[in-house]
Amino acid sequence: MRYDSLKIENIVASGAIADAIDLAVISEKIEHCELNQKRFPGAVFRIENPKIASLIFSSGKVVLTGIRDQDTLEKGLSVIIEAMKKAGVKTYTEPRVGVTNIVCSYDIGKTINLNKVVMTLNLENIEYEPEQFPGLVYRIRDPKIVALLFSSGKIILTGGRTLDEIKRGLDFLEQKISGIL
């Protein structure tokens, strides 16, 4: 399979950077860090360079989103850690943060007859209700990837923790639908 049109759209990473974080303190001391506990139980810290949104919780846990590659994750995490330290938070020497989800797009290069895919594969791990959603949802078991197929030939793959898992899911998908296209 050629992966030339495979593109990472978003990476989500999560984990812990401290034992506890005083959200009121960091929202006051860190620029672009917002806290509105009536709407959300954590602080939202938006970083401009690299462009990442992070959710910070009083438990010391964080969720980072908007990441495009490993380098951006590392840079963003170091910006967050540095900001926390400046605000007086005692952070871990080694943050325990890892990738939890990668979202990729892929263009198969030709249209897909979704009705034919449903009729031919007839699998329980397929959902297709065009009145509700224009894409076909295909839940791949191994690797555990969810693929959204659109009649335009575009595919969204999500659920992988590594690019290799995404590629294996794409290979599996192509093997299943190649005779149908």
Whole-angstrom distance, CA of residue 28 vs CA of residue 113? 53
- Indicate whether 86 belongs to any domain: yes
Q: From 98, 127, 142, give the residue that closes a domain.
A: 98
Residues 149, 73 within the same domain: no
Share the mean pLDDT of the chain.
94
- Indicate whether 7 belongs to any domain: no
Q: From 70, 98, 126, give the residue that closes a domain.
A: 98
Higher pLDDT, 177 or 132: 132
**Strands annotated E in the chain:** 7-18, 33-35, 43-47, 52-56, 61-67, 91-107, 126-127, 136-140, 145-149, 154-160
Provide the pLDDT for residue 120.
Answer: 85
Domain count, the chain: 2
The model's confidence at residue 10, banded by pLDDT at 50, 70 and 90, is very high
Output the CA torsion sign for 41, 42, 43, 44.
negative
Contact at 8 Å (CB) between 53 and 11?
no
- pLDDT tens digits, residue range 95-123? 999 999 999 999 999 999 999 999 888 67
Work out the angle between the directed axes of helices 163-177 and 114-121 (0-180°, nearest 10).
Answer: 80
- Indicate whether 30 belongs to any domain: yes
- pLDDT tens digits, residue range 69-94? 989 999 999 999 999 999 999 999 99
The model's confidence at residue 1, banded by pLDDT at 50, 70 and 90, is low
CATH code, 23: 3.30.310.10
Q: In what order do the strands lie in the sheet with 7-18?
A: 33-35, 43-47, 52-56, 61-67, 7-18, 91-107, 154-160, 145-149, 136-140, 126-127
Whole-angstrom distance, CA of residue 64 vs CA of residue 55? 6
And the tokens for 158? Answer: 């999500």
Residues 86, 137 within the same domain: no
Phi, psi of 90 (to 5 degrees): -85, 100
N-term to C-term CA, the chain = 15
Provide the pLDDT for residue 181.
Answer: 73
Flag whether pLDDT at 124 surpasses 90: no
Q: From 98, 128, 161, give the residue that closes a domain.
A: 98
And the tokens for 83? Answer: 């900001």
- What's the domain range around 150? 108-177
Provide the pLDDT for residue 105.
Answer: 97
pTM strictly above 0.75: yes
Percent of the chain with pLDDT over 90: 88
Contact at 8 Å (CB) between 24 and 79?
no
Residues 115, 168 within the same domain: yes
Query: What mean pLDDT is predicted for residues 11-25?
Result: 97
Residues 89, 122 within the same domain: no
Residues 79, 131 within the same domain: no
- Indicate whether 4 belongs to any domain: no
Longest dimension (CA), the chain: 60
